[in-house]
Amino acid sequence: MHRNTIVAANWKMNGDASLISEMTTALNAITISDDVQVIICPSAPYLGALTQANSNSRVAIGAQNINEQLKGALTGEVSALMLKDLSVQYVIVGHSERRSLFAENSELIAEKAKVALAQGLTPIVCIGESEQEREDGNTENVLSQQLAPVLAALESHELFDVVFAYEPVWAIGTGKTASAEMAQQTHRFIREYIAATDANVAEKVAILYGGSVNAGNYQELFAQPDIDGGLIGGASLKVEEFKTICAAE
């Protein structure tokens, strides 16, 4: 089963108008394979500017988070309706930083994914274990607990429009990266877990790897049969390095 490669940039709380200009100039000037979808997820204040500056049809814009409510007295929050109004196409939900720093649980993340889909956004649902959980042999149990609410909340036909991202917490921004073999083994488990709900979905759904992906390791990671691209942090802030990764075949 051939699945397209997704190269998604999570800028987190980084970046500015200068980076938007430099990045879009670089990406607008290159040809990205029809088998590759590039997504850039800046902080919310820059979504409009990035959308206006981007002219490469293979580059989509994503947000880093949404609220589960569509509107209301929720100062500082961003809704799926607002993102839709800005022509945003993707939204990250459940990143480990949202789980650990903002106490978001898997049930809330499933709710956010449902709301995103209802507004025509593609949720990038993040899952991943801590270093201690992996050392204790609990990786599969942790991932199962994170996946189960999402699979329960969504209909099978909705799952076709979800992107999953496996990000081992111990590899995010640390310089540590799961070996290609370790990452593939975990991605295979995730796909098999989804297959227990719907085998057809599991065959077609994209599962990205995140955790210190860079220009030096992306080819080996992306070559694995169950890894369909990357959710990239630090390297996505470096224009030339990210441009190299976007040339993935």
Task: List pLDDT tens digits, range 112-164.
Answer: 999 999 999 999 999 999 888 988 999 999 999 999 999 999 999 999 999 99
Q: In this structure, are residues 106 and 148 in contact, taking their beta carbons and an 8 Å threshold?
A: yes
State yes or no: 11 annotated in a binding site.
yes
CA distances from 146 to 35, 69, 99, 121 (A): 29, 21, 11, 21
pLDDT value at residue 135: 87
Q: What are phi and psi of 85, to 5 degrees?
A: -65, -30
Portion of the chain with pLDDT greater than 90, in percent: 90
State yes or no: 14 annotated in a binding site.
no
Residues sharing a CB contact under 8 Å with residue 25, sequence separation 6 or more, in sequence order: none
Q: What are phi and psi of 22, to 5 degrees?
A: -65, -45
Any bridge partners for residue 37, and if so which? 6
Q: Rounded to two decimals, what is the model's pTM?
A: 0.96
* pLDDT tens-digit series, residues 38-90: 999 999 999 999 999 999 999 999 999 999 999 999 999 999 999 999 999 99
State yes or no: 229 annotated in a binding site.
no
Any bridge partners for residue 19, and if so which? none
pLDDT value at residue 115: 98
Q: In this structure, are residues 17 and 46 in contact, taking their beta carbons and an 8 Å threshold?
A: yes
Is residue 2 among the annotated active site residues? no
State yes or no: 96 annotated in a binding site.
no
Q: Domain total for the chain?
A: 1
Measured CA to CA, the distance from residue 138 to residue 83 in angstroms comes to 36
Candidate list 95, 104, 133, 187, residue with the active-site label: 95
Range of the domain at 89: 5-246
Candidate list 68, 97, 167, 187, residue with the active-site label: 167
Here the CATH number for the domain that contains residue 77 is 3.20.20.70
